[in-house]
Amino acid sequence: MRANNRLGSMIWVRLSRFTSQSNQLSNVFLKRFDLTSAQFDVLMQIRIYGPLSQMELADKVTVTQGGISRMLVRLEKEGYIVRKQDWKTKTISLTAKAESILERAYPAQEAFQSSFFEEALNEEEQKTLHDLLSRVHRHSLKKEIPLE
């Protein structure tokens, strides 16, 4: 294995582990708002881009199509979202209850997640990391998967 590939693999593993750990800690942190990190993500995407169709929402979050269906049923039962039929498309919007929760949860979650970086890196290092991860992300969007 080439050293360059090994370094790339080590970076990928480290990012994967950090993401997993961050999600686990967020799940514990968000319990105070009676939300999981996946539910928080879905509600934030609806808040930012809504109203959305289920397909549009599934494209924006890291939940499978089946997982998003189950989550939306749960969020609707809990009074966080409403689904409304607009001709052929069913759109998803937030309720006042969800807006109220997000008014409190978003700043707290933002501060919690930011603390990982603010406590470990100075401002210049944070900017550099952001720039590098943004560049890798943009490249990944153009990446084609080789056929066997």
pLDDT tens figures, 89-135: 889 999 999 999 999 999 999 999 999 999 999 999 999 999 999 99
Predicted confidence (pLDDT) at residue 64 exceeds the cutoff of 80: no
The model's pLDDT over 19-57, given as tens digits with 9 standing for 90+, comes to 999 999 999 999 999 999 999 999 999 999 989 988 889
pLDDT, residue 3, reads 55
Q: Look-up: residue for tokens 């968000």?
A: 30
Strand partners, 86: 89
Q: What is the pLDDT of residues 8-22, one digit of tens each?
A: 899 999 999 999 999
Residue 3: burial class (beta carbons within 10 Å; 0-12, 13-18, 19+): exposed
Q: Does an H or E element contain 92, and which? A: strand 89-94
Where are the alpha helices (H) located in the chain, listed in sequence order? 3-30, 37-49, 54-60, 65-77, 96-118, 123-142
CATH number of 32-112: 1.10.10.10
Q: Which residue has the higher pLDDT, 72 or 85?
A: 72
Confidence of residue 146 (pLDDT cuts 50, 70, 90): confident
